[in-house]
Amino acid sequence: MSAIILDGSMVHYEALGRGRPIIFLHGWVGSWRYWINAMQVASTSFRAYAIDLFGFGDTARETKYYSIERQAELLGKFLDEMGIGKVALVGHDLGALVGFHFLKARHESVDRMMAVNVPLEISSLNTRMRTSPATELAEWLTNKQPDAMTALSDASKVDPAVVTATMSSLQAGNILPHVRNFSVPCLFVYGANTPAITIPVPETNGLPVHMHQITLENSGHYPMLDDVSQFNRLLVDFLALDSGVSPTELQMKEEWKRRVR
């Protein structure tokens, strides 16, 4: 286990590989642990990091840092302390929101971002995500599949107060209008079968050219666990794009064409 002290509080992280930096940010249920397969794939070309946010996993429970904005500050301080420059971000639900708030504050530090099953508005989030304990959510979101439940074994460590605080931050408004004009390539990835959120219609969001949305037909709320090979192929293809190139280029591959309902 690796840890760093930021503002007097312990932050747990894990790292694999060598190369350009990539940060994986977990969501409301679980910890860094469910990124292991994706980290292993990315680590062949990148230095892959996964952080436990405040109130999750083995990172300190510091209620003053529980808002999404303060979690984004944690990310910035982690990068500064570790001497990490421009970085690729991969975030899942809450983690993607943290990534977007970091992007808002320091867009020049982000090379590209993948946002997985991110709810951009509180109304798109199933009420159960706001009211049920994380251990119950783990069972619901994975249909109690043994491998997925193992990957989410840290659900029992989630501080309920951090869920309340981050939900309040989400209720404050949609983050997308604040980050859409920075020209940072961003790929939105949704699992078609997720019960946790209502998947947005790309045309409704009016995504700019440097942003693109893909729906994975055989995945639920955890595409990195539901269909490991497909998610990892998409991750590798996205990371292989030249810096600054829009993820709309992925449409050139038949398997990544956006699903039309």
pLDDT digits (tens, 9 = 90+) for 36-83: 999 999 999 999 999 999 999 999 999 999 999 999 999 999 999 999
For the chain, what is the mean pLDDT? 93
**Position 178 in a domain:** yes
Instruction: Read off the pTM.
Output: 0.95
Work out the pLDDT band at 253, boundaries 50, 70, 90: confident
Identify the pLDDT of residue 27: 97
**Position 41 in a domain:** yes
Map residue 177 onto helix, strand or coil.
helix
Work out the pLDDT band at 140, boundaries 50, 70, 90: very high
C-alpha to C-alpha distances, 15 to 23, 32, 113, nearest whole angstrom? 9, 10, 18
Identify the pLDDT of residue 206: 78
CA distance 198 to 210: 23
Structure tokens at 132: 């049920």
Identify the pLDDT of residue 201: 83
CA distance 215 to 99: 20
Q: What is the mean pLDDT of residues 140-164?
A: 95
Comparing 38-42, 201-205, 239-243, the range with the smallest average pLDDT is 201-205
CATH number for the domain that contains residue 140:
3.40.50.1820
Backbone dihedral angles phi then psi of residue 85, each to the nearest 5 degrees: -90, -130
In contact, 83 and 17? CB cutoff 8 Å: no
CA angle 186, 165, 122 (to 5 degrees): 55
Work out the pLDDT band at 250, boundaries 50, 70, 90: confident
**Position 261 in a domain:** no
Which helix (H) or strand (E) segment holds residue 92: the answer is: strand 87-92
Share of the chain above pLDDT 70, in %: 96
Domain that holds residue 80: 2-256
Question: Could you tell me which of 88, 89, 86, 65 has the C-alpha nearest to residue 10?
Answer: 65
Question: Into how many domains does the chain fold?
Answer: 1
pLDDT tens digits, residue range 217-238?
999 999 999 999 999 999 999 9
Work out the pLDDT band at 256, boundaries 50, 70, 90: confident
**Position 142 in a domain:** yes
**Position 169 in a domain:** yes
Question: Could you tell me which of 170, 35, 56 has the C-alpha nearest to residue 116?
Answer: 35
Identify the pLDDT of residue 207: 87
Identify the pLDDT of residue 203: 59
